[in-house]
Structure 1
Amino acid sequence: MTPPTFAPRTGAGRLPADVYVLAVISFFVAVGFGVVIPVLPVFARSFGVGQVETGFVVSAFAVMRLVTSPFTGRMIGRAGERTVLAVGILIVAASSAAMGAAQSYEQLLLFRAAGGIGSSMFTVSAMTLLIRSVPDSHRGRATGTFQTGFLIGNMAGPALGGLLAAVSIRAPFYFYAATLVAAALVGLLRLRGPRPTTDPDGAPGTARSDSRPFRQILADSRYQAALVCNFANGWSSLGIRSSLTPVLVVEVLHRDPVWTGLAIAVASVVQTVALRPAGRFVDRVGRRPAMIAGSIIAAVAMLAVAFVPDIWTLILVLCVNALAVSLMGTAPAATVGDIAGPRSGTPVAVFSMASDTGQILGPVLAGVIADRAGIPFAYVTATLLMGLAALASVRMPRRTPTAPPKETVR
């Protein structure tokens, strides 16, 4: 079967309204998530458990996301993206409210794990809807816009969580539930679903229907590269960076933990600013160059983090890595959309599982390596995986999308 080609841009060159609605929804989800994360370990410890049990509470969410993702694609096929998205968000809302009312560690663990089911439903349905809502030549910008909502929410959430925790350790969980209900309402009221696109001549057309069997998608070198990139990104940027950088700052650079938050916050700002330009690069220059460049830059940055001499160099290196992550966050997702076509629930679910697996395995295995061989060797694992992602991206066919007219770029 001939691989799907890049679709032409719509006449006006604007992103569909659903993309911005999804960005708003992602902001609500992320700000609530950011509110809860700083207080969750403290709340778990209040039940008299140790660090291992606390770790189970933190990881249960991601584990359930991973376990339930394969079934989400089927749900989307039967109920539609908008319904699955709203139900998934409401499940996480109920989970968060129940966590706030938990009276034992066992209840907290159970409710936290249940939230991962809803999170899987939201993540896969939102990405599937995003893919279906835009033609191929808009997909990089659409993904960047969607992820910008997450990043802004992630930056605002922890600070707000600290203020709410001063009122009550349970207050952030109820606030998270409220933001999720708001996100679900926005989805139900404002999302309209994929609409007709236009053909090359500008005449109204129908949404693409060239869906491919998943076994063919899985055999596609582009999809394989997207999976490797997402796994490597989950392992390094979302896993190792979050678990080892705080230790690096305190034990190697001998700085107060507050510097960890500052370094990551500055890098997050850089990534947020870079997402839209990265999306344009992905749409104009191509997925393959973006994935190769992002993988190589991230590989070098992750290795450099392990050997930084001071906190200011660390901040600089993390900012460079943020530029790579902006490419790694947009190009692989756009690639999946190019390959999968409109019925992309299962391919998107497997793609999401790749990142979740990296986030789960990365901190654990890197922690073992750090304990036995030292922190630098733990960061080397991220460098090796990013190198593997670059090699997988090189195997992709050389295909360049048609550049859109400059005056239509928004």
Structure 2
Amino acid sequence: MLDPPMTDHDNAPTDSRPGLADLREVPGFTAALAIGVVVGLGFGLVIPIIPAFARSFGVGVFAATAIVSVFAGVRLVSNLAVGPLIDTIGMRRAVGWGALIVGASSLASAAAPTYWWFLFARGIGGFGSALFLGALVTLTLVTAPASLRGRAVGTIQSSFLIGSSFGPTVGGALAEPLGLRWPFVVYAAACGIAGLVAFSRLPGPEAPTEDDVLPDRSRNPFAGFGQLLRTRELIAALVMMAAVRWTLSGLRFSVVPLFAEDVLSLGPALLGIGLTVASVGQLLLVVPAGRLIDIRGRRPVGVIGFTTFAVVALGFVVLDGTWPFLVAMGAFGLVTGATNPLPAAIVGDVVSKDRAGRAVGVLNTAGDLGSVGGPLVLGALVEGFGFTSAFVTTAALLLAAAALAIRMRETMPATV
């Protein structure tokens, strides 16, 4: 049986065509946007220099890439634990402490005297990232009116995308004259500012009602996971989340660069342009897509969005030439933006406030499983069977998400 949806906003707008001005009236939403931009910018600052900084300790390529993997791996195994933690300490504190933990990790990375110190510091940052991102999404789902939930998720996602898109350029510029350690210092400062803003500007926890409190919450912080996984709608959201992250990490960031080089004979410059086109397309559509799912519903957007995503993935099989590649990358970005806000919005529709942190933790776990599994599985498929197998497998996963969208009930709350 579904939990009571988070629709207890008596002042929810009655307009069926929500606007950004309505979101600005949500307590703490503007502060949450600023936090997303600042942390996203800091994250982007260090991304291009992490492998180079790792290799400065005299390690090889595998050890350098392990620094990237440990952050994602720790975040993956932390997601289920931080969900109950968010529900226990409150979303404002979780956002604030998560940002500060990432900041401390980045500062420790800047001061790292050895490779192993650097590896450990980045691992701690993975836990902070899981806590921060999980709490920020949970806060968005709980505080935004039900009629604006999709738009709110899309707007928060866009804030992080804006920051992370410009971050690599700034980080590269800083590293050139100042050295590889300084971007980590700037990232630490950005996270410190974000943490202070969270503690001072985000809304505090509301006192839970008698119906909201789980009976065994004090004895078992993981209570409720089994019930969360019994709903068809939540399962659909989990598959959608895993499919989007699988496609991003597995295709866009892993297989497509190799495909562009080996099959299309494109150089690094054209590949970089293609990846930029995809990022811009995603950024352009993520907010309008959030609005669309608030107007037309979660189910139709899921069916059309993931079916189109599958067609785009299959389209790479027949690509030939630079311009078709750039067009395909633009389409890739657009369908990514169109589907990105949907899983979190569905979770917000079907899960009660008290279990929101747990549900977001489960959702992020599904996403990180896709992020980790996509490159590994698709890389093995390409080695064994060629590039076509990777595109066909990904399309099948996206079609499975579309099929689950067909079978789920419409979760969008009725207009008040």
Q: TM-score, structure 1 length as denominator?
A: 0.90
2:254 aligns to what? 243
Closer, same or farther in 2 for the Cα pair 1:11/1:137, shift >3 Å? closer
Picking from 152, 163, 177, the partner of 2:173 is 163
* Offset at residue 4 of structure 1 (A): 4.2
Which stretch shows the higher mean deviation, 7-16 or 318-327?
7-16
Closer, same or farther in 2 for the Cα pair 1:382/1:337, shift >3 Å? same
Picking from 209, 217, 227, the partner of 2:228 is 217
Distance (whole Å) between structure 1 residues aligned to residue 326 and residue 210 of structure 2: 44
Picking from 391, 395, 400, the partner of 2:407 is 395
Closer, same or farther in 2 for the Cα pair 1:296/1:193, shift >3 Å? farther
In structure 1, give the amino acid aligned to 2:97: V
1:38-85 Cα deviation digits (max 9, x unpaired): 111111122222222122111101110111111112212221111111
Distance (whole Å) between structure 2 residues aligned to residue 38 and residue 87 of structure 1: 26
* Offset at residue 269 of structure 1 (A): 1.6
Q: Which runs of 5+ in 2 are unaligned?
A: 215-223
- Name the % identity: 37
1:288 aligns to what? 299
Distance (whole Å) between structure 2 residues aligned to residue 70 and residue 403 of structure 1: 33
Is the 1:208–1:342 contact (alpha carbons within 8 Å) kept by the matching residues of 2?
no
1:199 aligns to what? none
Is the 1:18–1:193 contact (alpha carbons within 8 Å) kept by the matching residues of 2?
no
* Offset at residue 92 of structure 1 (A): 0.8
Picking from 259, 271, 279, the partner of 1:260 is 271
1:153-198 Cα deviation digits (max 9, x unpaired): 12101111110120211121111111111211221121114779xx
2:119 aligns to what? 109
Map residues 161-200 of structure 1 onto 2, 5 A cutoff. 161-167=171-177, 168-193=179-204
Q: Which runs of 5+ in 1 are unaligned?
A: 197-205, 405-410
Closer, same or farther in 2 for the Cα pair 1:207/1:259, shift >3 Å? farther
* Offset at residue 246 of structure 1 (A): 2.0
Distance (whole Å) between structure 1 residues aligned to residue 56 and residue 315 of structure 2: 38
1:59 aligns to what? 69
Paired positions, count:
395
Closer, same or farther in 2 for the Cα pair 1:398/1:185, shift >3 Å? closer
Which stretch shows the higher mean deviation, 247-256 or 334-343?
247-256
SS at match of 2:328: helix
Map residues 9-408 of structure 1 onto 2, 5 A cutoff. 10-11=12-13, 14-15=22-23, 16-167=26-177, 168-193=179-204, 213-343=224-354, 344-398=356-410, 401-402=413-414
* Offset at residue 211 of structure 1 (A): 7.9
1:407 aligns to what? none
SS at match of 1:255: coil
In structure 2, give the amino acid aligned to 1:379: F
Distance (whole Å) between structure 1 residues aligned to residue 271 and residue 194 of structure 2: 30
Q: TM-score, structure 2 length as denominator?
A: 0.89
* Offset at residue 339 of structure 1 (A): 0.9
Which stretch shows the higher mean deviation, 143-152 or 179-188?
179-188
In structure 1, give the amino acid aligned to 2:132: F
In structure 1, give the amino acid aligned to 2:86: I
- Tell me how large the CA RMSD over aligned residues is: 2.3
